[in-house]
Structure 1
């Protein structure tokens, strides 16, 4: 099993900007500019979200300070609290009433609800966590609770990207930045994931603490803030917080999972109907990944269990890890290789799917085995610490590269994926941010003619492009080969 020692790092004071024909190109971070090496990114949007661009998050109670208090009847006050804050808060208000019958009745109901909640926590421990803490624990985004950028999702067919920020806004950037749609809704709180619909130019699903909002953005509209009339709200009782959503490659189905619900739902968005896939062995699910061929669906629980579903029969093969849970996973482009990492081991595992029968009880005759591919234990390479437990992994659409984001080291590791004669992961390059920057989230462009391109959301709100270019694939004048020899490059 390989380790991370094969990585070569940029020279002191330099950061990696791109990779051309297997050679990492770097430049001093004070005047770093990827356009000095390649012109392939000129038509892509430049994204840097600073704190002054964020919308302040306000609570409903702030507007009450503008009005003078008035005396209202108890029944009217109770009704108002019920509609604004819910049944439980209305009971707390009733328990403080001066009439003994009303207060004792409210206290009795609150005691009953407390014992019911204890029983629910016994069967599903995740309920005791607040929504934001639970999301932060299971999210693919590093430090989800405090980082500016929480999600990045590239459109599968056009040069368009959705960026989710900590103010619960979804900003749509494209090659034409004249109009930047901003998707906001009062019930769209604590956004966890976002996914563009395949075979569509305008639909995007946003998963959040309360459910799923599917927006339809008219490409010809001049409105920068689409109204909720352009959206469909999908919600089911106890199916929250939504942790992962995924569109099928045909765009006809949307799957979702929630941290406090062990049921995976398959949505027909047009009809607002669902079918459910439920298996015992967990109290919730945290990650869904549809293979690019559409034949398999990966799902993992918040416990030891993960599954690979056959999307034709909706039968699944059940697999368990020894400790912890599956933290992150990704498919190869052909849908026959699955890479995953757990929350307790510094190892990337590979799963080779050769037949419809993924796992068998007899390990000697099983056609597929989860095998350790690379050890990601922390090491120091020329003063740069890399490795540790893995936060997120993404493979590029062509299945040639793997990007890995770690939980507590500040490098994004890029590997080459080799499938023949056997599945291997080979260290390629390390991407380091500017001083004081930490990586938050990673995502690959869906279509990049010159090779592939990784995008990294940094803690400063900057989105970096890291293109991996092969000159035999690029069109003329896309790579400035006459420019980059004049700069210092790494020996890789």
Structure 2
């Protein structure tokens, strides 16, 4: 099994800009410009989310410091606290009142509140988590709670990029156009995922804490902020927070997974009707992914179970991991194998779907269980920390590349994928940002003709487009041949 020592390492002070014909290209961060090597992404949207672009919901404590304190009647003070912070803070405030009867009554009600909460936690342990803490723990986005960019998504058919930010807004960038539609409403809180609708140029699904909003964006209009009348609200009481969305190939159905709901819901968007995938009774679900052939659907629970659904009959095969949960997963382009990593082991596994238990110890069924493909144990490469537990992984639409980034280190590892005769991952490039940057989330562009293009949202709010170009090749088959020739040269050098 290969490990991270095979990766090429940038020189100290350099950032990784692109990959040309299998070779990583870097420049000093002060002069870094991807146009030095290729013009393939010159017209891509330039995105750098700064504080002045955000529409934060309130001023918070910093805003209150601008005003002089005044004497406010106690009843009015309680009304203000209730409007801003809720009933629990009202009781805390009341305990400070000088009148003994009021303060003692507030303390008694707080004690009753605590006992009732403990009783509810015994009946339903998942209530212990606040929504933001739960999303941050289970999200594919690193440090979701504090990062400026929450998630990104490329359109399936053109070069439109959706970017969700920490002010609960979604911005749509179109190449280098200055027209940037802004999708935002008060119901859209704590955005978790984005999904463009297939067979449509204007519709995007936004998953958030309490449900789903389907926005219709008219790009021929000069209105930069569509109204709520251009959206469809999808919501069910127990289906939250929504963690993952997946459209059917024809775009007529939307599948959603929620962290505190054992059911996976299938929505008929236009009729606002739902049905439940039978047999999906897990503790909660956090990830959905269609296979490239659109005949299978992966669903990942927040426990040890994940399932492969047959989209013809909607029957599922149940798989398990020994501990933790599946943290990240993606399909190979053939659609018969799955790449995944768990929340407890720094290893990428490959899986052929033929049995009920992934990690079988029976040698006769070795073809049926998960095979470790790459060791991601954390190491130091010439002063650069790489590896560890996986945060997220994505495969490019053509199936030639896999991008992985980690929970505790600041690099994105890019692999070349070999599908035959055996599934292999070959170290390709190590994408390094600025000294203080860590990757937040990643996404591959769908319609990038020169090869593949990986978009990386960094913690600084900067979004980098990393092109992977084969200048002397004309199709995916030749690209695969090129990578195989690189493997042979690497093995010969050893």
- TM (norm. structure 2) is 0.85
CA separation of 1:229/1:63 partners in 2, compared to 1, >3 Å: closer, same or farther? farther
| 2:415 aligned partner | 415
| 2:121 aligned partner | 121
Bigger mean CA deviation after superposition, 349-358 or 423-432: 349-358
| 1:393 aligned partner | 393
| Pairing 1:283–2:289 present | no
| 2:28 aligned partner | 28
SS in 2 for 1:30: coil
SS in 2 for 1:31: coil
1:448 positional shift: 0.7
Distance, in Å, in 2 between the alignment partners of 1:276 and 1:85 is 36
In the TM superposition, structure 1's runs of 4+ consecutive aligned residues that sit over 6 Å from their partners are 59-64, 77-96, 105-116, 354-363
- Conservation of the 8 A alpha-carbon contact between 2:216 and 2:231: yes
Distance, in Å, in 2 between the alignment partners of 1:60 and 1:279 is 45
Distance, in Å, in 1 between the alignment partners of 2:435 and 2:92 is 50
CA separation of 1:437/1:5 partners in 2, compared to 1, >3 Å: closer, same or farther? same
Distance, in Å, in 1 between the alignment partners of 2:3 and 2:361 is 30
CA separation of 1:412/1:372 partners in 2, compared to 1, >3 Å: closer, same or farther? same
CA separation of 1:260/1:329 partners in 2, compared to 1, >3 Å: closer, same or farther? same
SS in 2 for 1:127: helix
Query: What does the per-residue CA deviation read over 1:255-282, in whole Å, with 9 as the maximum and x for residues that have no partner?
Result: 1111111111011101101101254763
1:179 positional shift: 1.4
| 1:205 aligned partner | 205
CA separation of 1:134/1:354 partners in 2, compared to 1, >3 Å: closer, same or farther? closer
Bigger mean CA deviation after superposition, 360-369 or 183-192: 360-369
| 1:438 aligned partner | 438
- Conservation of the 8 A alpha-carbon contact between 2:323 and 2:344: yes
- Runs of 5+ unmatched residues, structure 2: 65-76, 97-104, 476-492
Map 1:229-248 onto structure 2 (within 5 A). 229-248=229-248
| 2:351 aligned partner | 351
CA separation of 1:398/1:31 partners in 2, compared to 1, >3 Å: closer, same or farther? same
Distance, in Å, in 1 between the alignment partners of 2:444 and 2:34 is 17
Query: What does the per-residue CA deviation read over 1:14-56, in whole Å, with 9 as the maximum and x for residues that have no partner?
Result: 2221111111111111111111111111221111111221112
Bigger mean CA deviation after superposition, 34-43 or 227-236: 34-43
| 1:336 aligned partner | 336
1:91 positional shift: 11
SS in 2 for 1:140: coil
Distance, in Å, in 2 between the alignment partners of 1:240 and 1:224 is 29
- Runs of 5+ unmatched residues, structure 1: 65-76, 97-104, 476-490
- Conservation of the 8 A alpha-carbon contact between 2:321 and 2:359: no
CA separation of 1:368/1:442 partners in 2, compared to 1, >3 Å: closer, same or farther? same
| 1:100 aligned partner | none
| Pairing 1:169–2:169 present | yes
1:82 positional shift: 10
Distance, in Å, in 2 between the alignment partners of 1:295 and 1:343 is 27
Question: How much is the aligned-residue C-alpha RMSD, in angstroms?
Answer: 3.9
1:175 positional shift: 1.7
1:126 positional shift: 2.4
Map 1:137-176 onto structure 2 (within 5 A). 137-176=137-176
CA separation of 1:36/1:79 partners in 2, compared to 1, >3 Å: closer, same or farther? closer
Distance, in Å, in 2 between the alignment partners of 1:409 and 1:335 is 30
Distance, in Å, in 1 between the alignment partners of 2:21 and 2:316 is 40
- Conservation of the 8 A alpha-carbon contact between 1:214 and 1:231: yes
CA separation of 1:449/1:62 partners in 2, compared to 1, >3 Å: closer, same or farther? same
1:361 positional shift: 11
1:340 positional shift: 0.8
Bigger mean CA deviation after superposition, 167-176 or 137-146: 167-176
1:444 positional shift: 0.4
- TM (norm. structure 1) is 0.85
Map 1:52-201 onto structure 2 (within 5 A). 52-58=52-58, 118=118, 120-201=120-201
Distance, in Å, in 2 between the alignment partners of 1:465 and 1:187 is 31
Bigger mean CA deviation after superposition, 286-295 or 139-148: 286-295
CA separation of 1:122/1:298 partners in 2, compared to 1, >3 Å: closer, same or farther? farther
